[in-house]
Structures are given as C-alpha cells and as structure tokens.
Amino acid sequence: MGGTYQSDGPSPTEKDPLLSSIDVVSPPQKCYIPIRYVVTFMSFFGFFNVYAMRVNLSVGLVAMVNYTDTVNVTDACPERYNNTKDAEEGPYDWNSIIQGQILASFFYGYIFSQIPGGIIAGRYGAKWVLGLGILCTTVLTLLTPLAASISPFALMALRFLEGLGEGVTYPSAHALFAKWAPPLERSKLLAITYSGAFCGTAVFLPIAGLLCSADFLGGWPAVFYVSGSMGLIWFLFWSLLVSSSPASHPWVSDEELKYITTSLEDKQVVKDIPWRSILTSLPVWAIIITHFCANWAFYTLLTDLPTYLKNILKFDISQNGVLSSLPYVAQFIIAVLAGQIADLLRQRRILTTTATRKLFCFLGFSIQGFCLIGAGLAGCNVTAAVACLIGTTGACGLLLAAYSVNHLDIAPKYAGVLMGLSNAFGTIPGFLGPIVASYFTNQSQDKSSWMKIFAIAAGVDVVGIVVFQLFASGVQQDWAKDEDTKAINSSEEAEPDLLVRG
C-alpha cells in the first residue's frame, strides 16, 4: 500500500528499528479541532464519570457503616479526628465480610459483559454500546441509597447490575479507537481516554468525602445523586458529538477523514472471529495475564484504600477523600505523559513497539511493587505511607503504555474483542481483592493484616513482569491480518536488545 502506514509493521532488516522503511501519513495541518480529539475527550469524560460512579461506594461505605459495632481495630495509629461530627458512624451494621461482598458484587456483573460488549461494538458500532452502558450505570447509581435502605443484598444486586452495564465500556472504547486512532497516535489517544478513569477517581474521591461529611441531600446519599447526575449530562453530549467511525461523523473534514482511513486498514468490520488463533496466541495470553496482575493492586486500593485510611491511619471522612484521591492525581499525570513518551519513542524509531511496551510494563510493575512493600513497612509514618500509596497507584499510569494499548498493536481489527477477553480476566481481581482483604481484616483491623494484603499485591506484580517480558509482542499477528497485509508484512519486526524478546 504505497503512501499508507501499516501499523507497527516490520523493518526490512533485522537491524532497523520500527518504521524505518514505511511512509507515514502526516496529519492534516489545519486551525480547527480534529474530530478524533473531540471523540477522545468525550471518551475521557465518559471514563471520568464511570470511575466517579465506581468509587462513590468506596468512600460512601465508610460513612454508611457503623464500624464501632462491626470492626475490632487493633494496632492502629493515633486518632486524628478533629471533632465529633467527623467521627460519627453510619447507620448500617455491616461487617467486613458483607462490605467485601458489596464491593465485589459490582465485578461479578462486570465480568459477564466484557466479551459480548467487544463483539457487539466491533460489529455494530461502539458509540451506543459505550454510551448506553454508562447510562445504565448512571440510572442505577441514582437508585443506590434506596437499595441500601432495603437490605445489603438489594445493594449487592444493584451493584451487580451496575457492573453488567459498565462491563462494555473498555472493550467498546477499544473498538471505537480501532476506527478513530491512527497507529502512531494510539498510545496518546488511548492514554488520554483511559486517564479519565484516574482523573474521575482523583476528582470525585475528595468531593465524595466532603459530601459525606456535609448535610447536603442527607450526607452520604448525595455522593450517589451527584455522580449519577453527572453521568446523565455526559450521555446527552455523547449522543450529540460522537459517532462510531470517522466516515459516519457529520462534521469530520475531508483531510482528517483521509488521514485516518489511509493510516488504518480498510477492512475493520468484525465478522468471523478467529477464536482458536486468539486463544492459542502467546502475545494474547501475555496481555490477559498482565491485565490480571495490574488490576490486582489497582482494585485492591480502589476499593479498600478509604477503609485503610480510616481504620489504620485514622483520617476522618473529609481528609480520607482528599488523601484517597492523591494517588489517582499522580496516575492521571503519569498516564498522559507515558502515552506521549511511548508514541515519541516509536515515532523517532528509538524503540520498536514491542520494546516500548515491555519497557513501560517493567517500570510500572517494579515501581508499584516496591511502593506496596514500602506502604506496609511505613506503619504510622503517615508521610511515608501516603507517599508509597501515591507511588503504587501512580505507577499504574505507566502500564497504560504497556499492556493496556497492546491489543491494538497485535490485532487492531479485533481490538474490542481482545479487550473484552483480557478485561474479563482483569475483572477477577475486582472481586477477589476485596474478598482477600476482608479475610485478613474481618477479625481485626491492624497493620500486620494490611502488610499481608500489600505483600500479596507486590507478588502478583512480579508475575506480571515475568510473563509480559517473556511473551508479549508489538507486532500485528498473522491471524489478525488481511491477505494483502500479510503479503506486505511478511517478516517480523526487528527487536533491539534492550528488553527480553517476546
């Protein structure tokens, strides 16, 4: 294909880095906002709202539960409450096991809609799959206080349905950007999109803490009413501004449409999915296992960090929300920078795609593992503990330039399906993590129990490093290519000796 760019295609020789002989299509130079950036930022705010609604219960639960009646706290740090109002306990006598099941129930539903979401988005368009999935979560979020007042089991059922609706978001976003993201902008556009999750977490956690400690709309119920209302507003703008592909968008310019379509393969409609090739592909399993490992620490902190800050470090609810948000501020900043740097390394032919993905994976997991152990050893040294927790979650941002975008490298046509598959496995830590945490903390909340929780997460990080370094790849796989693409890209991408080859 003269004048087109084939994603991460091989070099003509084993010594040349990525893209050494490929004509790269230049983006149009215009003084207007490219529609792909509109789609990207609307997707960013979609994930912003998704995670605002996902974490609302993590903080809300701290205010909803009467810990005096349900939790035996020993070997904790000195009290930090400034007044009795901040220290008031909630109305529900739910022990650690019930709380763990409430937090985990979201992920029981989340796991089931991953693969169907990717398939449906790939075949019929991602706009409405993503939009309606978030709308479903929005409506159910508004009903959360009602469900909690009925029984914890009603709340579990509602959270299960929320997970079912939200499970389509990541695979449908991957399917969307398989149509909208030129190959050399993938890391950047996906990093911006998915950093909305971290930004939503960072912004809404302190807001949730303030709402819980205020009298507005009854205190903790306001957390769900505010985040649900934000989701409704987003859905309105999403319906008006986004389409599933550049060709179907009414406002895309001819220059941008040509730039995107000539940078991508012409045939992107998913019809027959090569399941056997997918399930026997080592690079696919490298993504799946790494996704699982990355989510273990992420979900453990996402769901249990407010509880740790309250029961062990003894921060009140308003301080809790602010401190819980700091790791996600770091993650947001690091994720955006990592996406930019990763694409720069590839565009300037400093590293191949494979080497770039492995480098960011190694850095992300290594920093995260050390910080997890540091958080456990810090004890009541609040500055050190909070710094390590910030480093732990911030390091997750590096992983966005590793496994998280790797589906688009190895199989752009099936990116939504692969994301659904890997995110299904990546969802397992979402319900196992809270259950493991509740197992260690049910009888007593103490520093040694949390040290075990952090050590397990660090061990899982080591597994992620080893698997991704050994088996990951940034080369488009043969089973994901059209026949004409196979003829052009018949050799393998050259790998520098910087990292272990996959």
Residues 292-335: tens digit of each pLDDT: 999 998 888 777 777 777 777 777 656 666 777 788 888 888 88
User: 79 pLDDT band (50/70/90 cuts)?
Assistant: low
Distance, in Å, from the CA atom of 253 to the CA atom of 258, rounded to the nearest integer, reads: 9
Is the per-residue pLDDT at 102 higher than 90? Answer: no
CB 482 within 8 A of CB 267: yes
Between 494 and 429, the more confident residue is 429
**What is the percent of the chain with per-residue pLDDT over 70, rounded to a whole number?**
81
Between 368 and 64, the more confident residue is 368
User: 419 pLDDT band (50/70/90 cuts)?
Assistant: confident
User: DSSP class of residue 249?
Assistant: -
User: 265 pLDDT band (50/70/90 cuts)?
Assistant: low
189: Cα separation from own chain's centroid: 14
pLDDT at 42: 96
User: 103 pLDDT band (50/70/90 cuts)?
Assistant: confident
pLDDT at 81: 54
Other Cβ atoms closer than 10 A to 444: 15
Computed over every residue of the chain, the mean pLDDT equals 81
DSSP bridge partners of 92: 65
Q: What is the phi/psi pair of residue 270, to 5°?
A: -85, 120
The 10s digit of each residue's pLDDT in 377-415 is 887 788 888 888 888 888 988 998 899 889 989 998 888
Q: Which contiguous run of DSSP H or E holds residue 216?
A: none
Between 115 and 489, the more confident residue is 115
CB 171 within 8 A of CB 423: yes
Is the per-residue pLDDT at 3 higher than 80? Answer: no
b/e map 123-154, b = 16+ CB within 10 Å: eebbbbbbbbbbbbbbebbbbbbebbeeebee
Between 119 and 28, the more confident residue is 119
The 10s digit of each residue's pLDDT in 449-470 is 888 888 999 999 999 999 999 9
User: DSSP class of residue 18?
Assistant: T
Distance, in Å, from the CA atom of 205 to the CA atom of 143, rounded to the nearest integer, reads: 20
User: 502 pLDDT band (50/70/90 cuts)?
Assistant: very low
Least confident window among 90-104, 140-154, 171-185 = 90-104
Whether this model's pTM surpasses 0.85 = no
